[in-house]
Homo-oligomer: A and B are copies of this chain.
Amino acid sequence: MQTRQPVMTVEDLTAFMAREFPQVHDDFRVEEVGAMRVRVRLKVAERHLRPGGTVSGPSMFALADVAVYLATLAMIGPKALAVTTNIAMDFMRKPAAQTDLIAETRLLKLGRTLSVGDALLFSEGLADPVARASMTYAIPPDRAE
């Protein structure tokens, strides 16, 4: 859509996650970064599952939230303070049991104070999305760090 290019690489985003979110960074793997886009994987483990082996709602929320957050940071640089202000999710299919989830994410707006993006979540290897999410982040006024 816009032709701005990312200012952070997969490696930059991975290092940022490890530094700022040590509790959860092991859950995720940044797989690809592009202009206004990222792909992020949830490495599904026991703690993400519900009875029956399916990925829990909060784990899907966490993946979507992290993915659009990283898509924003990829474009504006490492600002740990951007905060989620809104999320809307549709849960459409039961995720495959014991299978990683992949978030394909795009930014739709990257403004001075707000970024808006959406994500489709897929069980690895399956064509139909299990969930859809859209999110808004407030970007702190002073972008310098």
Q: Which residues of A contact B (CB under 8 A)?
A: 1-2, 20-23, 47, 49-51, 56-59, 61-62, 65, 83-94, 108-109, 111, 113-114, 116, 118, 120, 127-129, 132, 134, 136, 138
Contacts and interface: CB of A to CB of B under 8 A. Distances in A.
B50 A61 contact: no
A89 B87 contact: yes
Contacts of A88: 86-89, 134
Given A84-B91, A87-B88, A109-B92, A57 B62 contact: yes
Given A86-B88, A118-B132, A134-B134, 10 more contacts: A57-B61, A57-B84, A85-B90, A85-B114, A90-B108, A90-B109, A92-B111, A92-B116, A93-B109, A132-B134
A94 B120 CA distance: 26
A31 to B, nearest CB: 20
A90 B1 contact: no
Nearest to A49: B23
A81 to B, nearest CB: 11
A37 B10 CA distance: 32
A118 B88 CA distance: 12
A132 B62 CA distance: 17
Contact of A132 (B59, B83, B94, B108): B108
